[in-house]
Amino acid sequence: MCCVRQLLVISLLSACAPPAQPLNVPPSARGPVTCEFRGADTDRDGLSDSCETHLAEMFAPLLRTAATACNVHATADARRLGGGYLYAVTPVDSGVRLMYLPAYFQDCGWSGAKCRIPFMSCAPHAGDSEFIAIDVATRDSVRYDVTGVFLSAHCFDGSDPGCRWYRGPALQAFAWAGATSASAPVIWVADGKGANYPSRRACDAGKWRYDTCDAARVDYRYPIDPERNIGSRTVPRCYTAALVDPSGSHTMTGAAECPWDTSQRFRGWQGSTHPGATPYERYLREVYRLED
C-alpha cells in the first residue's frame, strides 16, 4: 500500500496544462499540479515543504463570511476573520489531503430570540477550532479531481450532520472559485459561530436553523504562509500569538497553541484561564474516522 500511495503522490505532483476555469465548473479536470516531489521535507511525511505550500495555495478555499462578524479585521490585502490560518498537507492512500485550520481567535456566539430558550448557550468564547480538509487525486498525467471536501459544523456535539465529508454527487453542492491554475471550493462561514457549509441554504438550515449566512458579503481566499504549516504528528509544530495576531484586537497572553497535542483545547492564544474549544488534535485524528 505504501508503494501505491507513493506512486499516486508522485503522479499528482507532476502535471501541467490548461488555464483557470470560472465559478461553478464541475469538481474535476481543473488544471495543472506542478511542484517538485524532491526537496526538504522537515516534517518527514513524504512531501517536500515547497510542495506542501504549493498545493495548499492552489486549492485554498474561498471563504465567504459576514462583514459585521465580531472578529473581522482588515489586513494589508483584505478583510477576514481574525485567526491563525494554520495548515497541513499529507499523503493519503488516494492522493494528497490538504487540511486547513482557520484557528479563529474567538467564537462570537449567537444572538437574537433563540438565545432566550432555556439552557441555550449563546455566549462567545475564546478560540474557535474550525476545520476544512480537501482531498485531491490525479485522473491522468495532466488532470486531477477534487475527490472530497470535509467541513466542520458543530462537530462532535451530536447535533448537526454538517460535520461531514462531501464526496461524489455531494460535491455538486459547492460553487467553485477559479484561481490561476486550479479551482477551490467556496465555503460559507456561519455568522458568529464560524461553522462551515457548502452553500448559504445549507448554512441557514444548520444547527436547528440557528446558524445563518444571510449577511455573508466578504470573500477571501484562505491565506497560506509557509511559517504556519503545523508539520505532522511525527514532527509537530506549535505557534504563539506573536505569529498570528496581525490586528492586535484580541487580548493575547503569548500562550502557545499546539494542534497535535492530544490534551490541549484550543483557546485562541488567550491562555489557559479560558475553557477553550475542541482540541485540534481531535479533528486531525477523527477526520479519518469520519470517512464514511
Question: Please, what is the average pLDDT of the chain?
Answer: 79
The pLDDT tens digits of the residues spanning 120-132 come to 676 777 889 999 9
Distance of CA 186 to the CA centre of its chain: 11
Q: Taken in order 280, 48, 56, 246, is the CA torsion positive or negative?
A: positive
- Distance separating alpha carbons of residues 53 and 87, to the nearest angstrom: 9
Non-local CB neighbours of 4 within 8 Å, separated by 6+ positions = 93
Q: What is the pLDDT of residue 144?
A: 63
Q: Taken in order 90, 92, 98, 100, is the CA torsion positive or negative?
A: negative
The residue with greater pLDDT, 26 or 235, is 235
| Overall average pLDDT of the 111-126 stretch | 68
Find out whether 274 and 127 touch, Cβ atoms under 8 Å: yes
| Overall average pLDDT of the 218-245 stretch | 90
The pLDDT tens digits of the residues spanning 248-288 come to 777 788 889 999 999 889 999 988 888 888 999 999 998 88
The pLDDT tens digits of the residues spanning 183-225 come to 789 999 998 888 999 999 999 988 778 888 988 888 999 999 9
The residue with greater pLDDT, 200 or 20, is 200
If you count DSSP H runs as helices and E runs as strands, how many of each does the chain have, helices first?
A: 6, 14
Q: What is the pLDDT of residue 81?
A: 86
**Confidence tier at 109 by pLDDT (50, 70, 90):** confident
Q: What is the pLDDT of residue 15?
A: 36
Q: What is the pLDDT of residue 254?
A: 80
Whether the per-residue pLDDT at 68 is higher than 50: the answer is yes
Q: What is the pLDDT of residue 246?
A: 67
Find out whether 289 and 267 touch, Cβ atoms under 8 Å: no
The pLDDT tens digits of the residues spanning 77-92 come to 668 888 999 999 999 8
3-state secondary structure 17-55: CCCCCCCCCCCECCCCCECCCCCCCCCCCCCCHHHHHHH
Say if strands 62-66 and 183-189 run parallel, antiparallel, or are unpaired: parallel
| Overall average pLDDT of the 14-35 stretch | 43
Residue 129's Cβ-side half-sphere holds a number of Cα atoms within 13 Å equal to 21
